[in-house]
Structure 1
Amino acid sequence: MIEALIFDKDGTLFDFRLSWGAWTRNLLAELGDADGRLAQVLGYDAARNDFAKGSPVIAMTTPEIADILLPHLPGLPLSELLERMIQLAADAPMVPAVDLPAVLGALRARGIKLGLATNDTEIPARRHLAGAGVLELFDFVAGCDSGFGGKPAPGQLLAFVAQCGLTHARVAMVGDSLHDLDAGRAAGMKAVAVLTGIATRADLEAHADVVLTNIGELGPWIDGLNAA
């Protein structure tokens, strides 16, 4: 039986390319990346609005991305860079991967608790959920700055279990990257991969209990587990 689901945000609830392509373009414009050097550092192809599989934007925390950019930005204080990145993230136009109110509302109607564990910071994460009309459906929201660390470490997931009184083996981590799946395994949870991020089925299937096209397929998957 599954009693709770904890979701990654970007590439899972929201389409990664459509949402974070805009954030990356805006950040590069603010930083004056006329020669494309910073785009290369971020593994971002502006012409295709796409990311390399190893792009730090995909799975790293906001402070980790800032640390990678900072050596290429002489004279810019880290605190100022982080402030710009967080504000741009909060304002980024998020494109849902599915009808989030319908899908998440149906999961809540089953009595399933919902959590969010993102390597984004918490304030933008809450703003994105609120903008999609689903913040109130979540029992737990954690960003990389919420005091539990970031993925692939399991701290956010373990905090969800502790705060909501859950059983590890009856919770599933749902995400689009190996960081998500590794965090789920480390927390003793089931690991569910979705294909709404950058990674392919071939990248994810060896690390997941199941690979779904998107989170809209979670209900039938849970029904299959309960019937087994």
Structure 2
Amino acid sequence: MLEAHFDGAAPFYQFFKLVNLKPISEDEMHELLRSLAKQTGEEAVKTIEEIITEHPERIEAVRRLTDGVPRTIVLLFQIIMEGAKESSYAYLEETIDKTTPLYKHRMDDLSRQQKAIVHTIAMNWDAMSTKEIAEQTRLPSKTVSAQLVKLQQQWIVDKIETSTKNHLYIIKERFFNIWYLMRYGNQTDKRRVLWLTRFLESWCDERELSERFVNAAFNIENNQINVSDVYFNALLASKKLIVKLKNRL
């Protein structure tokens, strides 16, 4: 974000109109990919239709991880056109490579204190309080609070309000956080991203979920698991499963 977008004292501020793009849904992603394919050629249309029909879970996992940002979906289209990828994680790695210049530039623009704060929040993944950030960065709480306000204005950090004065802070763009973990995290951090990606790919695969659901129902029938089992109920709540299959079981 340029300062002119959020700084009321900046020149020409009153001439800017911000249009916020909301995260796109799975259907909107398919529509966007098909539109880009039509502009590219018949071979691109064939490739995109094959992925949407045969392996929708691969691109859906990436959409969820990137929070449905249209810019990133366009990058995903370019990656698909460059050649076949066998998993969501392969798509994710390519997407991370292509977004590196953008995110690296974003980090380079930050001050030393801001970099330390962003690093701390990103490596934690979950939201943190000002006190926790101050302890880990060894910066005064007042300094951390002042920098967090600036980072919010720059759309890098998001505030999660609580019932107390101790609000929590998290990296606003979740894919930026994933990129940071993959670029600066240790092997444990990278494995967390890998397994999260694999989980989402499985969770968005109708065929695999159906098989897991039937197996879980069979285990209930044989008293191997209880009908109130969390795993079974999670499967039962999935929108990816066929309603008729749920009702029959």
Instruction: Name the TM-score class by shorter chain.
Output: under 0.3
TM-score relative to the length of structure 2 = 0.26
Of Structure 1 and Structure 2, which has the larger fraction of its residues in helix? 2
Of Structure 1 and Structure 2, which has the larger fraction of its residues in strand? 1
The structure with the largest alpha-carbon Rg is: 2
TM-score relative to the length of structure 1 = 0.28
